[in-house]
Structure formats: structure tokens, C-alpha cells
Structure 1
Amino acid sequence: MTKIYPLTPALCEIAKWAFTTRRVDRGDVQGLSVSFQTAKAGDLMLCEIVEIGQHKKLQLAERRVSLSYPGDLVVVCLGDRYAPDQFLASAIVDDDLIDLVAGGGVAGRIDAAHDFMDDATRLKPLGLLTGPKGNVMNVADYALPPLPANDRVTVIGVFGASMNSGKTTAASSLAHGLMRSGYSVAGVKATGTGAFGDFNSFEDGGAPALDFTDVGMATTFRRPLDQIEQGFDTLVSTAAARGAEVVVVEIADGVFQQETRDILKASRIRDRLDGILFAAPDALSALGGVMTLERLQLSPFAISGMVSCSPLATAEAAEVTGLPILSREDLWSPEAIALHVAPLMRRDHEGVAA
């Protein structure tokens, strides 16, 4: 049974704020609206946790996890989600209860779920946060200022065959290896669902990180390609303005996910990449990924990911793709960076590696 609260902005002061809300100025909250029928992706919403399900913890704006309890108040974002291993969800409030569809703080309506998922954690929407002008607050209101594309910094894209193929480890390991080689590096997560795992992984390796939540998107699923492209331009340019010579950009999910497919087929992002590292879980996925990229006139410089954890799978993948298979330890190595990545550098950054 849900608690009965007086609907006041003061409730937001005692709520747990999710990672997706990390850029929001909490002092802007002036009211709460119950016009849920007009809510859209990215809108900030105060909810009460009613029932604990799949997501038993919430990733907080402070970049730590908080164990969830029935009755907790949380501020999350309404959003779509695409996750073949978890949930397909829509940014819709059409019932008294909604679903927590991602632990980083995305809520909506689950439309489909993987068989291995528990039922979702259920939330009671209490109100949409409104600002000083009475407008519903949205994460887009707190985005970095848009910047034009930067054509001087080197950009390496990390794509994968699927979720859980090892993209994040590959991307953060590459960034770490570049730093060990003497480059100034930044990590960017350009698409996906708001969560701090990828963000923290870059920073754990020493590379300052940015992601799509910095450019006003709680998730990039169902966002227009031009919005994702502008976000990419801003993230890369912001990283360059902060001193990065090389930006490692991770693209979420697999090559058949709609936004990823659009990026690879024809986009400013595709055209801006100086090299591609491809992550795969096994040799067959490595071959399929390479063939898919080659049909789009793209060629990765190497394969990494889960396939590199197995000597047998590594040998198979190397044989069928003809490409180097780089483990995370390989990517940490200045020798591997000099051999495989340094040739991709833009002229301004050649010769940095020791």
C-alpha cells in the first residue's frame, strides 16, 4: 500500500536522485504537476517505490548505488529503453504504476522483457517536477552548450556485436593504453541508456568521461539521428576543449540496434571516426561484425571484447577475420598502441607515444 504524501516540492529534498538527473539544479524545483498524459522522454518525475523487482538498487547522481526499499521516494527520468538482454520500454505513463526500466534512473512502460528478467521494480508516479516558469523540467534543460564539430582531435569508435560483448572494457582499456602511451585522452559514451558503469569505467582507467546525459538525453533510444549527431559533436568538442588529443567513443548495443545501424550507415559520426575497434563475444560474432562493417565500407583495425578472454576463441577469430585480436592487457600496452592505433592519429597528434 502506497503512502499518502502532501504533494509539495519539499518531497524532492528527501528523495533519492538518479544518475540520469546528475546535471539538474535541484534548486530549480518549484512545483509538481500531475499532467502525466503530456509527459515526454527526459521529463523529471518524482515517484514512490511500491514493489522491488529486477532493479533492487538505484544508481544515484552521486555515482554510487543505493539499496531500494518500498516507500522510497526517487527522482527519475521518463525514457525509452532498448536492451535485448533486459527490457524494451516506452516513455509512457498510462497507468497508476510504471516500471523502473534501468537502474540508472529511467522509468516507463515495459513492452517486452528477456525471459530471464524478474518483474520490474514498480513505481507510483507522484508528480512531474516543474521549474520557476511552471514548465516541466527535462534533462535537456541542463545540457552542455551545443558546440560545432571539432576536426582536429583523433576519434576512435568502439562498436560491438551485441550487449555484453565487452565494449565497455575494450573502450576503457583502449583509453588507458593511450594514456600510458603519452596521449591526453577522454572517454565518451555517445549512445545508450543512462547509467554510471561506462562513465566510471573510463574514469577508473584515468580518462575523464562524458556521456549523452551531458547533452540532455536520459537515453538515446528513439531519439532523432540529428540530435544524436549534435550530441556527439558537442561531447567530442567539449572533450577537446578540455585538453583531449584523442577521444575514445563507445556506441551502445550491437550493430543491428536501430540508432547504431543508422550511425554506421550514414551519419556525421561515421564520417568523423578515425578508426574502429570492434568488440565481440565469440569468433562467429567477430566474423559477422567484420562482414557487416565491410558491407558498409568500414573496416575495424582490431577485434577485442569477450572473445579475447579465450585463447581458443582468439585463435578462431584471428583465423576467420585476419585481424589482430587484442585483449584488455594488450590494449593497455604502449607497444600495442604504437602498432595498431598510432597510425590512425590525426597529424597534430602523431609521434606522441613513447
Structure 2
Amino acid sequence: MTFQSNPTTQLVSAAKWAFTTRRVSKGDAVALTKDYARAVAGDLVLCQILEVGQHKNIQLSDRRNSTSYPGDLVVLCLGDRYAPDQFLCRAEIHDGPMQLAAGGGIVGIVEQSHARMRPPTAVMPLGLLTNASGKVMNVSDYALPAKAPNRDVTVFGVFGASMNSGKTTAAASLAHGLRRAGYRVAGIKATGTGAFGDFNAFEDAGVPVTDFTDAGMATTYKMPLERIERGFDTLVATAAANGANMVIVEIADGVFQRETRAILNKSRIRERLDGILFAAPDALGAFGGVTVLERYGLSPFAISGMVSCSPLATAEAAEITGLPILTREQLWDRSMVTQLVRPYVRQPELCAAS
């Protein structure tokens, strides 16, 4: 079923466009279709908010929060989500109420939720957006041009024990310290769920940033590893083409999450990393994370995250792991961070001065 384009144009112009749609050319949307049987992750869905629940705001494409009201029109992305602290969602659409699984604009059918979560915000799909050719619009249509892997820049990965272990703060702090030390730094969020919090954290640290939405994925959960690898290759190569000689790559969720395990086990991403910073919530998480990484033949050069907020937990983690436990302020210190990364830099003559 396809609607006329003029009413669609009016609806689309009145809608709030979520962060996950930020690369999309809004003017391309000319009609709606309810051919839901062929919908795939990343397809753009025009929805109307029925009832506001857990997510009271929509993260907009211009990177600000917009308070949601029943009746609001929103353009969201069909997507899967894996978030142990929030929702498990599958990318499925039908002619009936759906749920907002993430404030950055992921919609689907919520299957499970954390006990602390309120019911998800309920929305009604009005249709999938189509362009002038009648093709359903997908965020992958607006991705950065694919690039071959870059082998010259230094790439550091930031992994964590779990959600909310302090990965984003650790990644942004490392990027900020390296920038202060004279490196030309870029930030990348390689996996996760589209949202502007991590994106903004890198920019606040003074470094340019791209994420998997720039590579055409609204989320990376259930994406084939090869697709995630190609996105990683493109983002690193794009950063290098834009002048970076140091790239900080944040990997979402914990080491047991499906895509993260695949990356650690055997992937081009793992092989491309020159060093790893690990974020842990506490001393046990630090020990467990280091133990897991060692099973994959990897070892972090330092630990940061929430554990570093507690002097007692820091002392415990340092004793049990034998690794430096660094606060965000220590990661900002250009002298300390220069000494920390020196053994891992690929082309020291092109990077920061001693």
C-alpha cells in the first residue's frame, strides 16, 4: 500500500528526525509504504507516539534532546538492540503498536527489559519512507563511501567489562590526552546502538568523530561480522584521509556480548588494533576482563573506567592485574599518556614530539 506523496511530504516535514537518521537527505522521502514483510534493519519508519514511557526524549539528528509528547510524529530506524541494562529489541514491523528501544531512534518489538525500566515508549508506524524511485529508504543508502583498510595510522581499541563500565569516558579521555600530546586524533564508535552521547563525548574532548551510523548501520547488533569489519575499515581510513595519525575506537557493551566476542575471537578489527585500553566497573570486573582478554591472546596496556573513581578499588585492581589503573585526569595528562602509548605507535616520527 502506497500513499500519495504530498500528504507524506507534509507529515515528514512536521516530524522529528532521530539521531540515527542524521545522514539522510530528508527531501528524498516522497511516499509511504506498508509493505512491512520485506522490511529490514535500518529502514526508515514514520511513527506517531502513542504513549510516553521509558524514553521521554528523542535524540534529534541535530544532536539535541527533544521532549516527546503523545501525537508527535517521529522518523525512526527499524533496528535490533541488545542492552542488558535496558531493552532487547528485534527489528520487526507490523501494522500495530511498536516500541521505542533507544532514544537515538531505534524502533522494533521489545522482547525483554531490565527490571528497573519503565515500559518502553509506544509508537504506531504510519509507514516506511520511500524515495522517488519507490525504494524504501535505509540508512545504508547514505553511508560514507567504502574505503580500503588503512595500515599506517595507530589504532587503539577501548573495550569494557559491561555497559556503564566507563568505556566512553575512558575513550574520550584517552583521545583528549593524545590530542594534548600533539597527536592528530580521531574517535570512532565501531559498534553499538545509534545515540549522540558517545559521539558528543569525543567532540567535547576536542577530536573529530564518526560512528557506525556513518558506515550505514543504525545498530550493529545482529549485523554480520564482515559488515561491521567493512564499516570499521571505512571509518579508520576516512579518519586517516582527514589527517588523523591516531584513532581511538570504542567497542560497545561488554566482552561477552555477541559481536564483541566475535571481534575479539577472530576479526580484522582485532588484528588491526595496536593496543587496548580496558574499562571496568570495579576490581573484580578488571580482573575478569583481563582474564577474558588473555584467553584471546590479548592484554590491555592499562585499565580505566568506573574502577578508577575509587582509590580502594584502584589499589585492589592494580594488585590483582599488575596493570596501571588510570583516572580520566591521568589519561588527560600529555606526559603520562605519551609514555603510555609510545611502545604501540606505528610511525612515531609522524606523531607527537617526545
TM-score under structure 1 normalisation? 0.97
User: Residue 263 of structure 2 corresponds to which residue in structure 1?
Assistant: 263
Q: Is the 8 A contact 2:202 2:209 kept in 1?
A: yes
Unaligned runs of 5+ in 1: 1-5
User: Residue 212 of structure 2 corresponds to which residue in structure 1?
Assistant: 212
| Residue type at the aligned position of 1:177 | G
Q: Is the 8 A contact 1:342 1:353 kept in 2?
A: no
Q: Is the 8 A contact 2:177 2:333 kept in 1?
A: yes
Equivalent positions of 1:24-173 (< 5 A) are 24-94=24-94, 96-173=96-173
Q: Percent identity?
A: 65
User: Residue 284 of structure 2 corresponds to which residue in structure 1?
Assistant: 284
Instruction: Give the secondary-structure state (helix, strand or coil) at the position aligned to 1:319.
Output: helix
TM-superposed deviation, 1:9 = 2.8
TM-superposed deviation, 1:350 = 6.0
| Residue type at the aligned position of 1:165 | S
User: Residue 18 of structure 1 corresponds to which residue in structure 2?
Assistant: 18
Per-residue deviation, residues 96-118 of structure 1 (Å, max 9, x unmatched): 10000000000000011000000
Q: Is the 8 A contact 1:334 1:353 kept in 2?
A: no
TM-superposed deviation, 1:34 = 1.1
User: Residue 3 of structure 2 corresponds to which residue in structure 1?
Assistant: none
TM-superposed deviation, 1:170 = 0.1
Per-residue deviation, residues 34-60 of structure 1 (Å, max 9, x unmatched): 112221100000000000000000000
Instruction: Give the secondary-structure state (helix, strand or coil) at the position aligned to 2:252.
Output: coil
Determine the C-alpha separation between the residues in 1 that align with 2:297 and 2:336. Answer: 25
TM-superposed deviation, 1:348 = 4.7
| Residue type at the aligned position of 2:36 | F
Q: Is the 8 A contact 1:304 1:327 kept in 2?
A: yes
Q: Is the 8 A contact 2:95 2:125 kept in 1?
A: no
Determine the C-alpha separation between the residues in 2 that align with 1:56 and 1:347. Answer: 47
Q: Is the 8 A contact 2:12 2:46 kept in 1?
A: yes
Q: Is the 8 A contact 2:183 2:351 kept in 1?
A: no
User: Residue 243 of structure 1 corresponds to which residue in structure 2?
Assistant: 243
TM-superposed deviation, 1:352 = 1.4
TM-superposed deviation, 1:347 = 2.2
Q: Is the 8 A contact 1:7 1:126 kept in 2?
A: no
Q: Is the 8 A contact 1:56 1:121 kept in 2?
A: yes
Instruction: Give the secondary-structure state (helix, strand or coil) at the position aligned to 2:175.
Output: helix
TM-superposed deviation, 1:95 = 5.0
User: Residue 183 of structure 2 corresponds to which residue in structure 1?
Assistant: 183
Instruction: Give the secondary-structure state (helix, strand or coil) at the position aligned to 1:165.
Output: coil
Q: In 2 relative to 1, CA 287–73 (structure 1 residues): closer, same or farther, beyond 3 Å?
A: same
Determine the C-alpha separation between the residues in 1 that align with 2:163 and 2:64. Answer: 23
Determine the C-alpha separation between the residues in 2 that align with 1:352 and 1:261. Answer: 33
User: Residue 192 of structure 1 corresponds to which residue in structure 2?
Assistant: 192
Whether 2:332 is the aligned partner of 1:342: answer: no
Per-residue deviation, residues 304-344 of structure 1 (Å, max 9, x unmatched): 00000000000000000000001000100012112211221
